[in-house]
Amino acid sequence: MTPRSAKALFRLTLPGLLVTCALPSDESDTVYVTVDSGSHLVHRGDALTVQAHAWRSTPDESDGEIRGASFTWTISDPSVARVVPAEGGRAIVTGVGSGRAMLRAETKDFEEGAAADVELRVANPVEIDRVTPESVRFGEQVTVEGVGLGGVERVFLGDGALIPDSASFLGDSVGAGSMRFWVAYPASSDRLLAVAKEGFSASAPDTTRVTRRDVFETEGESDPIIPLDGPVVREPDVLFRNPALFLEFEEAGDVYRFIRSETSQPLTLVIHQAGQVEFGIDAVVSPLPIDDPGADWGMGGQTQRCGNFTTPLPAALPDSVVRVIEGPASADFEVAVFALNSSTYRMDVRRGRPRPDPRIEPDRFEPNDHCRLADQNFEDPERRMDLDEGAVSELLTLDYPYDLDWFKIRVPGEFGERRLVTIRTNPLPFGAADSSLVLNYLLDAEGFGSQSRGDGAEQTIAHEMSPGDYWIVVADEAGVPTRYGLCVALGTVCSLPTAASSPSRRGR
């Protein structure tokens, strides 16, 4: 590094450094001082070694260092730091108290030489300088600026812990830096408190005000519209992410409207309820616009909508929701989030389908997560389940957590006739241990039907049915993707496939 680049890097020399030395021995060349400090920050009680250099400037800018020069060191505020000269042009600076002070190095040999001034900061291992903005809602971020943020373990705002946005960190992990944090319920107005792993803590100088509504909730306005055609959110395939949304128990639910122009790829919606919750969370996904004839479906956990009927499925509410949006009439969609108690939740929208277990691939009926996709499958002779053509026996998959599979079946017969139909399912896990729970439901055109019954893994519906079309809904209630067998037959004989059967793979 040349002397001039050293000056630019550390910005350690004063304006107008080129001062001519009047001593006869120096031939009137300009002498100036630079200081190598390595850092402008010193922790309280720690020592920093600095190195001074004396230089003689020349007209051709090939400045030469004056070897063996000696220096005088001073500090502007001894209550902040103290400086002790050492050999070879060095000095030891020790942090005393939090604050800023100016370190000066002057040459003893050239009285007219330009001194070097270095501003030093002495700080505790963790200090908070500023938090912006001054007022926030749940689901928004605050930017924290200070010292030692890389070692901060927890950050609190009043009654609640904030969620770190680790990818936003800028600066030195132990020195000056900045980082953003998501404001989540139950945070409240207060001075932000940061706690480091070693037990050090620091408070912000000013109060941050928290409005106890999330960023998407506005009085008297329509549901928020969120475009998904922008760039991904830092990591591949994430189009939307907010880990600090808030649903009040008193509200009917949170509603979001997502719009996109790219429809060639499926999307995955993931909602996860944070903290200790008692009742769980649900979300119903419906296509937009709602009044479109092709938008007469909605897929949820406890609620399914198809045409003019809405059917409750008596499944337990989980703490997570996973929905895959794909197929026709799924370009723009609405998400309605419900819970039975006040909840903080995270919501992500990603490109593609989830693949939690590569051994469990989508089967040949996918996509079939709602009734209209099942109707389309029924129009395909290769996917039609018409019991007049014989019993159905399929090895299928619930290929992501809380997956739903819809199948349309046709029961043959004459008007007024009743036929006994048996529907059976059983999970077929790869290992001996099985924590999956596969349930099946039978729905008619009015949304009424039967739920499966079973003492173990196998679930059965045996129901006398009039001729006509019905839907079977198979649900993963445990959030455990699995292979499963499905059989549908007239009468009581219904043979389930085995794990050794040829799988019904997705035909696309």
Residue 28 clears pLDDT 60, i.e. is over it: no
Strand order in the sheet with 160-161: 135-138, 201-214, 190-196, 152-157, 160-161
Q: What is the band of 19 on the pLDDT scale with cuts at 50, 70, 90?
A: very low
Q: What is the band of 329 on the pLDDT scale with cuts at 50, 70, 90?
A: low
| Residue 313, pLDDT score | 77
Q: Provide the percentage of residues in the chain whose pLDDT is more than 70.
A: 87
| Residue 310, pLDDT score | 85
Q: Model pTM? A: 0.80
Which amino acid, 204?
A
Higher pLDDT, 276 or 65: 65
- The encoded tokens of residue 221 equal 């306005």
| Residue 470, pLDDT score | 95
Strand order in the sheet with 238-247: 238-247, 343-351, 267-273, 320-325
pLDDT tens profile 267-312: 999 999 887 666 788 899 999 876 665 568 898 887 888 888 888 7
Most confident of 3-17, 179-193, 432-446, 465-479: 179-193
* Cα–Cα dist 331/87, whole Å: 73
Most confident of 1-5, 189-193, 455-459, 501-505: 189-193
Average pLDDT over residues 374-389: 94
β-pairing, 152-157 vs 163-171, is unpaired
pLDDT tens profile 437-476: 888 889 988 877 788 876 668 899 999 999 999 999 998 8
Domains and CATH numbers, the chain: 3-123 (2.60.40.1080), 127-214 (2.60.40.10), 225-351 (2.60.120.380), 371-490 (2.60.120.380)
Q: Provide the percentage of residues in the chain whose pLDDT is more than 90.
A: 56
Q: What's the alpha-carbon Rg for the chain, to the nearest Å?
A: 35
| Residue 8, pLDDT score | 35
How far from chain centre, in Å, is Cα 487? 40
Residue 32 clears pLDDT 80, i.e. is over it: yes
* Cα–Cα dist 391/422, whole Å: 10
pLDDT tens profile 94-114: 999 999 999 999 998 888 889
Task: Answer whether 365's CB lies under 8 Å from 383's CB.
Answer: yes
Q: Is 390 helix (H, G, I), strand (E, B) or coil?
A: coil
Locate tokens 């591949």: which residue? 236
Q: What is the band of 50 on the pLDDT scale with cuts at 50, 70, 90?
A: very high
Those residues whose C-beta lies under 8 Å from the C-beta of residue 389, and which sit 6 or more positions away, are: none
Mean pLDDT of the chain: 86
Task: Answer whether 32's CB lies under 8 Å from 19's CB.
Answer: yes
Task: Answer whether 201's CB lies under 8 Å from 65's CB.
Answer: no
| Residue 250, pLDDT score | 58
* Cα–Cα dist 152/194, whole Å: 6
Q: What is the band of 249 on the pLDDT scale with cuts at 50, 70, 90?
A: low
Least confident of 195-199, 257-261, 347-351: 195-199
| Residue 1, pLDDT score | 42
